[in-house]
Amino acid sequence: MPKPLGDWLERHGSETRLALRTTLAALITFALAHLFRLPQGYWAVLTSVIVMQGSVGGSLKASIDRMIGTFAGAIWGVAVTLAIPHRGIPALALTLALALAPLALVAALRPSFRVAPVTAIIVLLSTSSVQEGPVPYAVDRVFEIGLGCIIGLAVSLFVLPGRAHGLLAGSAADVLRALTDLVETLLRDLAESPDRAVILEIHHRLRRAMARAETLAEEAKRERANRLTDEPDPDPVIRNLRRLHHDLTAVGRAVATPMPLQGRQHLAEPVAALRRAIADFLTGAARAFATRGSPPSLGPVDTALAAFAEAITAMRGSGALREQSGETVAQVYGLVFALQQLREDLRDLADRVAERATPARRADAKPADADA
């Protein structure tokens, strides 16, 4: 295999596996539709493609939603079709409105029913021009869509399965890499305000990565609820990532304006050491999440925080803080508080990484505070 193609496949492994699963599900469904002589087998093939998601939990939700919507729409569509005469265009339009409006409202309130209005329309309008009648037509559609759901879910489960917990680990690593870039940008130079354009770009990346992680967490919870995995509850990971983002937002507020010269003389070097230690820890945690490795040591972060605390103590002892304006004092203590809170959430991050490590690595891992 040419190296560029191999590199591309390695970077897009999950997408490639999803494409293979989708293609295989469509081919299997196509073969079964012809074996069962389904009148409109393309509905089954379309459904198998629609329900195929990146993770088993996502495919399970899509299958359940599609079946619920199909049953509801078919039953209501048949009931309206049989109950209301609809010969002629005006009568058909009125019947269509009566069939569609309640289901559209239900779909707006409960997204899992969003297929119901579509199914009702298909039953009503299609049976207006066929001889078999609404009930047999609806039964055929439900069977075809049910077949597509079953095949799509089965392929998702047994062919190169993508577990939501594994995908969540990758998304969590993406969030941590963006947080690393944020740390590097915010604490680069106390003499200057951080580059606002760069900060906005990083926050945009963070929002996208967090949105994907939250979606995958919901899919992972669905896998746990259906006993498809014994991985830990994903909610603590999401909460931790949110708190880390909030911590760095507080750090950003503390360094939004340049620090006066006297403050920089005491804090520039400790803050630079903290920047390196925190960035290294986040990078190591991202790598460990992606590889199910043990968490990195918090020792360097604690050492850097201790040096920072000593610098603050030296500022107080020398009277340097008393000579600063109220805004500068608030800035310094705001940074102190934000960094202390960040340290607590980094410890929690280490715990989240440790509980997802492979058993062998988990046994070898030190407690998060072992190097403190």
Task: Provide Rg for the chain, Cα atoms.
Answer: 28
Domain ranges of the chain: 3-158, 164-364
- 127 — pLDDT class (breaks 50, 70, 90): low
For position 369, what pLDDT does the model report?
55
Tokens 């003389």, residue located: 265
**CA 245 from centre of chain:** 15
For position 164, what pLDDT does the model report?
83
Query: What element of type H or E holds 277?
Result: helix 261-291
**Mean pLDDT to the nearest integer, 344-357:** 94
**Mean pLDDT to the nearest integer, 184-197:** 92
How does pLDDT run across 318-328, given as a tens digit for each residue? 777 677 777 87
For position 270, what pLDDT does the model report?
93
Contacts of 329 (CB under 8 A, 6+ apart): 321
**Mean pLDDT to the nearest integer, 233-253:** 95
* Surface-to-core class of residue 47, CB atoms within 10 Å of its CB (0-12 exposed, 13-18 middle, 19+ buried): buried
Does the pLDDT at position 361 exceed 70? no
Does the pLDDT at position 365 exceed 60? no
| Among 76, 23, 74, CA closest to 52 | 23
**Mean pLDDT to the nearest integer, 69-98:** 86
**Mean pLDDT to the nearest integer, 294-323:** 88
pTM score above 0.95: no
Does the pLDDT at position 363 exceed 50? no
Is the separation of the CB atoms in 271 and 336 below 8 Å?
no
For position 23, what pLDDT does the model report?
94
How does pLDDT run across 113-124, given as a tens digit for each residue? 888 998 888 888
Q: What percent of the chain has pLDDT over 70?
A: 91
Q: What percent of the chain has pLDDT over 90?
A: 48
For position 343, what pLDDT does the model report?
95
For position 128, what pLDDT does the model report?
56
Does the pLDDT at position 283 exceed 60? yes
The rounded distance, in Å, linking the Cα atoms of 162 and 170 is 12
Tokens of 352: 């989240």
Angle at which helices 134-158 and 116-127 cross, to 10°: 140
Most confident of 11-25, 37-51, 213-227, 341-355: 341-355
C-alpha distances (whole Å) from 207 to each of 186, 236, 242 are 18, 18, 10
Tokens 């498809």, residue located: 228
The rounded distance, in Å, linking the Cα atoms of 364 and 76 is 59
For position 351, what pLDDT does the model report?
95
Average pLDDT of the chain, as a whole number:
87
Length of the chain in residues, anyone?
372
Could you report how far apart the first and last alpha carbons of the chain are, in Å?
A: 48
Contacts of 174 (CB under 8 A, 6+ apart): 209, 212, 213, 286
The rounded distance, in Å, linking the Cα atoms of 315 and 219 is 50
Does the pLDDT at position 359 exceed 80? no
Tokens of 20: 């293979």
Of 126-140, 170-184, 224-238, 341-355, the range with the lowest mean pLDDT is 126-140
**Would you tell me how many other CB atoms lie within 10 Å of the CB of residue 260?**
18
For position 372, what pLDDT does the model report?
44
Angular region, 133: left φ>0, alpha ψ -120 to 50, beta rest: left
Most confident of 188-192, 267-271, 280-284: 280-284
Does the pLDDT at position 87 exceed 80? no
Does the pLDDT at position 89 exceed 60? yes
For position 11, what pLDDT does the model report?
66
Does the pLDDT at position 176 exceed 50? yes
The rounded distance, in Å, linking the Cα atoms of 151 and 24 is 10
Assign domain 164-364 to its CATH superfamily.
Phosphate transport system protein phou homolog 2; domain 2 (1.20.58.220)
Contacts of 332 (CB under 8 A, 6+ apart): 254, 259, 263, 267, 312, 315, 321, 324
